[in-house]
Amino acid sequence: MATGMVVVDDGELSYEIQGAGSPVVLLHAGVLTGRMWDDQVARLARQHTVVRYDARGHGASATPRKPFAHYEDLRRLFAALGIERAALVGLSLGARTSIDFALAYPHLVDRLLLAAPGISGMTLRDPFILGQLARLTEAAEAGDTGAAVECVMRMWVDGPHRLPEETDRTTRDLCHGLMTDTIARHGAAAMTLATELGAIDRVAELTAPTLLLVGDLDSSDIHAVADLVASKAPDAGKQVVPGAGHMVNLDRRAEFDRALLGFLNGSVH
């Protein structure tokens, strides 16, 4: 295993490389870090060169101080590590960045696994998510970090269809710790300064083989994005994972890994 830092405009990205074989880059969810992929790295590294990194404004990477683009940071990571082409595996924000990157640099993308996908330009409409966002704003204005983290947990770890006590405790504890650390280090800089492509109007341009994985307990907004990409991207398929919320790879590890490994080995649907 090798770790290091890649210089980007106005900062650095923390990364880790493990294994050997065709490259796979793992992109984490918002407010989390590359540690959310621990289980998948161990499995993937048997057949692939696995790269995971902390997005700018997350984990051990730099706090942004001016506008930046996650997909351009990813391009610089590719260049610094000598990656000519890779499969991208992204969850939530990671999927959102993967889509932007695939539109901007299609020749660098072998295939896309988009789990619980967001997409740049989307509008949140789910009443549960909107309610938690309002509470999050109140908590942030009051300087209550604990309450703010819990709002994010309710939205993107528990989700609209289960209570906190119904979510796996190990998953909840991991996400709570990573979110608390990211907010303490970086605040909301990554959310307020990130620029994007507006990919929601360009889905038909996604030419790479694409698999969408969505938990059946995730929000209606995420299901809508997955349905949009599955219907408009020319080589895309969608799978719904029973019993999973937004954090599909943590909620249903075996099902996620089976779908991921099958897809990397050439199966789209």
Kindly report, residue by residue over 58-91, the tens digit of the pLDDT: 999 999 999 999 999 999 999 999 999 999 999 9
| CATH classification of the domain holding 206 | 3.40.50.1820
* Confidence at residue 244, expressed as pLDDT on a 0 to 100 scale: 98
* 175 shares its domain with 107: no
* 46 shares its domain with 167: no
Q: Which of 152, 167, 188 is the last residue of a domain?
A: 188
Domain-located, residue 21: yes
* 69 shares its domain with 159: no
* Confidence at residue 176, expressed as pLDDT on a 0 to 100 scale: 97
CA atoms within 13 A on the CB side of 255: 17
Domain-located, residue 84: yes
* 115 shares its domain with 140: no
* 105 shares its domain with 202: yes
* 105 shares its domain with 147: no
CA 112, CA 98: separation in Å to the nearest integer? 7
For residue 121 the two structure tokens come to 């330009």
* Confidence at residue 191, expressed as pLDDT on a 0 to 100 scale: 84
In the predicted model, is pLDDT for residue 267 greater than 80?
no
* 13 shares its domain with 59: yes
In the predicted model, is pLDDT for residue 268 greater than 70?
no
Indicate the pTM of the whole model.
0.97
For residue 192 the two structure tokens come to 């307020």
* 63 shares its domain with 18: yes
CA 214, CA 242: separation in Å to the nearest integer? 9
Domain-located, residue 221: yes
CB 4 within 8 A of CB 15: yes
Q: Find tokens 């819990």 and name the residue.
A: 150
Q: What residue numbers bound the domain in which 148 lies?
A: 127-188
* 167 shares its domain with 255: no
Q: What is the mean pLDDT of residues 169-175?
A: 97
Domain-located, residue 72: yes
Domain-located, residue 47: yes
Domain count, the chain: 2
- Give backbone dihedrals phi and psi of 84, rounded to 5 degrees, phi first: -90, -30
* Confidence at residue 95, expressed as pLDDT on a 0 to 100 scale: 98
Domain-located, residue 269: no
Q: Which of 188, 222, 239 is the last residue of a domain?
A: 188
Q: Which of 188, 209, 240 is the last residue of a domain?
A: 188
* 175 shares its domain with 53: no
CB 94 within 8 A of CB 28: yes
